[in-house]
Amino acid sequence: MRRKLSWCFGWVTRAAVSLAAFSATVATAQMPGAPVLQNAWVTPGGVGAVNFASGNEGTVLAAAASWSAASGRFGLSGGFGSRHVTSIGSRSVYGVRLAIPFGGQASNLGFAVFAGAGGTSGTTAADSTHSKSEVPVGASIGWRRALGATRGLSIYASPSYLFLSGGAKSGGLVRGAAGVDVGLSKSLGLTAGADFGQTRSKALGGPNGAVFGVGLAYAFGHR
């Protein structure tokens, strides 16, 4: 019995490590023009990622990174990139986000709350009406499962309230997102998802429909 319990504990630990490796969801942190994807777990240590997002307003290409203490009690992510807005051109975008998970690191079901802030450059008359900053506040629920000793799958949903400011008019939107993180190995993972919900006029900036995103992440250090 003791040997069986020890084997079960070891399997859960290995599964938690392989799944936690890519549950930070550093896909774009919180950048305008990118989906607000947030997993219910965070990754201990450091993770870097490259990301691409696309929606009705244009595209975003960015790099992002996240860090969390070994306890996994919080995760901090940030990113910087370029956003091409239709009829306006390319602008720099940036963002940060803080996530606080409540589920255990070894559990299959997790919960988290998060808040972020992001902005974009823009000083010409062509984009003077567009919002310059976005502040999402929300929660996340997720489910995960190990796929062997070094791979894992996590599915999550992230409803949020998105406040937009700058430009011609400030406002707030209720949005929701759904995503999936796949641990391809102990150090490499893939994120994909979409953000949808209330929209704003293209003239004001902000989400004007569904926003889709993908990201490829690498976890640093020995795992």
Written as one letter, the residue type at 141 is: I
pLDDT by 10s per residue, the chain, length 223? 444 333 333 333 333 334 444 444 555 678 888 999 998 888 778 888 999 999 888 899 999 998 888 877 888 999 999 998 877 788 899 999 999 998 766 778 989 999 999 988 866 555 667 778 899 999 999 998 888 777 888 999 999 999 988 877 888 999 999 999 988 888 888 999 999 999 988 878 788 899 999 999 888 875 5
- Cβ neighbours, 10 Å, residue 183: 27
Residue 109 class from Cβ within 10 Å (0-12 exposed, 13-18 middle, 19+ buried)?
exposed
129 three-state secondary structure? coil
Q: Where are the alpha helices (DSSP H) in the chain?
A: 2-20
Q: Is domain 2-219 given the CATH code 1.10.150 in the classification? A: no
DSSP 108: S
Token pair belonging to 99: 């996530």
Domain ranges of the chain: 2-219
Closest CA to 113 of 101, 95, 97, 103: 101
